[in-house]
Chain A
Amino acid sequence: MSKARKIYKTEDGGIVYGVMAEFDTPADLFHAAERVRDAGYSRWDVYSPFPVHGMEEAMGLKNTKLPLLTGIVGLSGAGLGYLFQWWVTTRGYATIVQGKPFDTFQPWVPVTFEIGVLFTAFCALLGMFAFNALPMWYHPLLKKDRFLRVSDDRFVICIEAADPKFDPDRTRELLEKLHGKHFDFVEE
């Protein structure tokens, strides 16, 4: 970290994780996200019970590198699968089967394909966890009762205190202007 983070405390003395505000509809959430993005915040997030269409652009998120990683891992898996069959059939213990030559690629296609798919699937799921820093069974937000309703029908924006532009009063004012409701400080 280049700059020491400024610590904010609530009246009870808890360290502030961020400020959260609720929104009623995906449309309100979407427009609010666009404004928070334009205000230049970087450490903030939008929480919704389902992925709201186009929200990545509204938040100004960059494309994820997950497909690239998964593609590389999937192709490597297929390559390894092919190499394994080649080694077994021509080097490990070459056995004459039906008088066919040892080194033929055609019968190895199905298994090569299946192993490629297997690696891709594992990489997609585990890569998703890794990129999202999951599993994380503890999180300050999950202590908030109002936040738990995101998993049902609420829409929440939370701006973190770790954001360089965070200021308890001004950040709250911004969210207020965007028709946010039920402001609350989230304690770490």
Chain B
Amino acid sequence: MSAMHPDEITAGRLTGALVPDRPLTMDPQTGDGTLIDDPSKRAPLVLNNRSFHDITEIVCGYCEQRPGGWWLPVFGLVSMLAGIGTLMILYLLVTGVGVWGLNNQVDWAWDITNFVFWIGIGHAGTLISAILCLLKQKWRTSINRAAEAMTIFAVICAGTFPGIHVGRIWMIWMVFPIPNANAIWPNFRSPLLWDVFAVSTYFTVSLLFWYMGMIPDFATLRDRAAMRLKKATGPTVAPFINIRQDQLRAWIYGLLSMGWRFSTRHWQNYEKAYIMLAGVSTPLVLSVHSIVSFDFATSILPGWHTTIFPPYFVAGAIFGGFAMVLGLMIPARELYPNMKELITLRHLENMAKIILVTGSMVGFAYAMEFFIAWYSANSYEADVFMYNRLMPPWFAEMLGLERSAPYWWAYWAMISCNVLSPQLFWMKRFRTSPLWIFIVSMAVTVGMWFERFVIIVTSLHRAFLPGEWGMFFPTAVDIFTFIGTVGIFVTLFMLFLRFLPAFAMSEIKNVMPQASPHPDHH
């Protein structure tokens, strides 16, 4: 794509050659024009020959204008779910963990399943913002902000569960590195303590990274509000309260922008700080899920005690996280105006490819667990995989085996969602169709929840001694607490789209062709 001078774009507008709100033309070969297979041609990252000003208008429009009529009903529904979840947590806190379906044998169940599920979702955000930044993948600019926001909200949901799963909630301060009444400190040899450090560091660093990325965009929103304020009229925050909405925007966005004024001397430090944050976030994101996997891998329970866990958990986290990014952004792309110009089919295709890669890595890990169970000749390990996970009762009957796996359906739900469904993306037709990508992402999200359920519950429910075997069944409180965290997550995400800059404007402008200071030579 040739670099277009902003004046050319303005001139094109005036002569009618370029229409600002032209619907995207779809081509059977290249989709919206970005699915180019020829590597010598570079696919545009923003469609419709947008100018810098258009990007500002589109992105700021998402938080300055009222969203469509769908917004309030959807927001009402998800915030109601969030409310139910909060009530369930309150009920748990005032009653005790007995309201969950946990028992002496399966003493970690949905709580830790949900914790690992949500913390894994967060990893895609950091991958997109940090690792793709270091790899100079320019397409990340369209989705990094939303993915980072998703990370923050997912970690909030994740952090809830270890917090509330302790039986004596008033003792939760003991997870912090402070001595208790007997002057004994927490045990620094325990992966559970490492987890406290990993998750809280992850949350803090992701928050700093997210905030720092938004500073220039806050300044843009501030300046737009300030310019509108100078016009005579504008809506007030409420009837009879004589404060204009733009005044509130100028104050809040102004405060958050720290007085950013787009100076090159500032940009220099900013870019250095950004790349350093990306640099430390990259090993951080790999460490967090590795440490989460240590919670299991350092125990001696068959099914948990494996060295493959860290890489397998990290791949699974990125896999599940990308599925969630797609699951949120594909509907958003349909519902918000002009979002399809920023998130093109090629962006979706790229993410679908990452899902295919990480899904296959996860599938490889599943296979490797079986191989090692056989190759290690450890009868407990082999037993876990055969009779805790794999064997459906009807198949066991057919083979004449005495035992079968009660949770076989969870295992097979995981396999079909995580390993089989992404294989559709080998075919271009599926990985370039937003509908199919959405369907597969939802399947993957379900599958990744089941993966954690399979690892945690099926390993626990039949440990070494048959005398202590038991089953786990969730209670209504279990189920609604989980649904509640989904509500909290989507509520926070919708508020993000409504009030914060949902796209990194300064970064998108920077990857547009007209941003080059040397337009003549490429």
The yes or no verdict on A and B being binding partners is: yes
Q: List A residues at the B interface (Cβ < 8 Å).
A: 24-27, 29-30, 33, 45-56, 58-59, 61, 64, 66-67, 70, 74, 84-85, 88-89, 92-93, 95, 97-98, 100, 107-108, 110-111, 113-115, 117-118, 120-122, 124-125, 127-129, 131-132, 134-139, 141-142, 145, 147-153
B205 touches A51 (CB 8 A): no
Q: Which of A26, A67, A111, A125 contacts B516 (CB 8 A)?
A: A26
B269 touches A117 (CB 8 A): no
Interface residues of B in 464-518 (CB under 8 A from A): 505-507, 509-510, 514-518
In the complex, A153 Cα to B54 Cα: how many Å?
9
B193 — which chain A residues lie within 8 A by C-beta?
111
The answer to whether the Cβ of B30 comes within 8 Å of any Cβ in the partner chain is no
B201 touches A151 (CB 8 A): no
Closest Cβ–Cβ distance, residue B249 to chain A (whole Å): 13
Q: Which of A53, A66, A153 contacts B51 (CB 8 A)?
A: A153
Q: How many A-B residue pairs have CB under 8 A?
A: 222
Closest 8 CB pairs of A and B: A153-B52, A30-B517, A128-B273, A51-B267, A135-B258, A50-B510, A148-B223, A151-B220
In the complex, A175 Cα to B162 Cα: how many Å?
61
Q: A121-B208, A129-B258 are known contacts. Are A66 and B272 too (CB-CB below 8 A)? A: yes
Smallest Cβ-Cβ distance to B254: which chain A residue:
A137
Q: A25-B514, A52-B264, A117-B280 are known contacts. Are A93 and B184 too (CB-CB below 8 A)? A: yes
Interface residues of B in 256-288 (CB under 8 A from A): 258-273, 276-277, 280-281, 283-284, 287
B270 touches A121 (CB 8 A): no
A122 — which chain B residues lie within 8 A by C-beta?
208
Q: Is the interface of A mostly helix, strand, loop or mixed?
A: helix
In the complex, A93 Cα to B182 Cα: how many Å?
10
Q: Which of A25, A49, A110 contacts B262 (CB 8 A)?
A: A49
Smallest Cβ-Cβ distance to B515: which chain A residue:
A26
User: When each residue 187-200 of chain B gets 1 if its CB lies under 8 Å from chain A and 0 otherwise, what string results?
Assistant: 11101011001100
- Most interface-central of B56, B193, B272, B284 (chain A CB within 10 A): B272
A152 touches B52 (CB 8 A): yes
Interface residues of B in 304-327 (CB under 8 A from A): none
B261 touches A139 (CB 8 A): yes
The answer to whether the Cβ of B255 comes within 8 Å of any Cβ in the partner chain is yes
Q: A64-B272, A110-B291, A145-B230 are known contacts. Are A151 and B216 too (CB-CB below 8 A)? A: yes
